[in-house]
Amino acid sequence: MTRLKQRAWVVLPPEVLTMAERNRRALPESVALASGTLPSAVARRIALVVFDVDGVLTDAGVLMNGKGNAGEVKRFDVQDGLGLKLLRDAGVQVAIVSGRVSPATAARAQELGVVECHQDNGAQKLPVVDELRTRMGLEWSEVAMLADDLPDAAVLTRVGLPAAVANAVPLIRDCALWVSTRSGGHGAVREFCDALLEARGDLMRVSQAYVDERGGVGQGPAGLRWREQHHTDAFE
């Protein structure tokens, strides 16, 4: 079950702590409660979700063949990819921002149709995300990030919805408002996408639309359970 993190003291530079505290104070008080779900007021104002790659979209492992980044292999979770599509179907913009340059990352982003894929070998993510949200006309409070490690801290402590994967380092996990039960590369992204969509009231709508585009819900036993559980009369 997903859970929201209680506020915690962490060792961060004063200016970073100030930004993190300002973001927390701007959120509804219900965010501080370990209720296991995202408050709808927070979820509905999110217009952009930023995803890290290594450790979030992957399990942080990289297979190398001696040819540098051009020859590396990464493992991505297919269900995570569908989660990104469902977010976009709900009108939430998606960006992939990595601190490593990798053809594998670019290929995965292209496959998923994610146009905003940014890679910086110096892990300078703050300028990238700041330019991105400014170009989109968004405030920091309208941005969410799913993170796992220190290169994400500068962005994570500014966004309105800071989230972390289960395998995140303690410093990142402790300052997140939401933490997945699954690890990066093993469904954490899909878990976050579903939680955000559920809190927005969009999960069933976009899921049903996705199924309808592929033939709709049938009238077999699974179709009957689908209708009962999701209170819908949508059948082929």
**How far is it, in rounded angstroms, from Cα 58 to Cα 20?**
26
Query: What pTM, to 2 d.p., does this model score?
Result: 0.81
Q: In what order do the strands lie in the sheet with 178-179?
A: 3-4, 178-179, 161-164, 143-147, 48-51, 93-98, 116-119
DSSP-derived secondary structure for 56-72: TTS-S--B--SSGGGG-
pLDDT band at 68 (very low <50, low <70, confident <90, very high): low
pLDDT band at 235 (very low <50, low <70, confident <90, very high): very low
pLDDT band at 74 (very low <50, low <70, confident <90, very high): confident
**How far is it, in rounded angstroms, from Cα 165 to Cα 107?**
23
**How far is it, in rounded angstroms, from Cα 191 to Cα 179?**
10
> Taking every pair of C-alpha atoms in the chain, what is the biggest distance, in angstroms?
59
pLDDT in tens, 90-131: 999 999 999 988 999 999 999 999 999 999 888 899 999 999
Q: Which two tokens stand for residue 130?
A: 């700041």
Domains of the chain (ranges; CATH) run 3-31+39-201 (3.40.50.1000), 206-236 (no CATH)
Instruction: State the amino acid at position 138 in one-letter form.
Output: L
**In the chain, pLDDT over 90 holds for what percent of residues?**
63
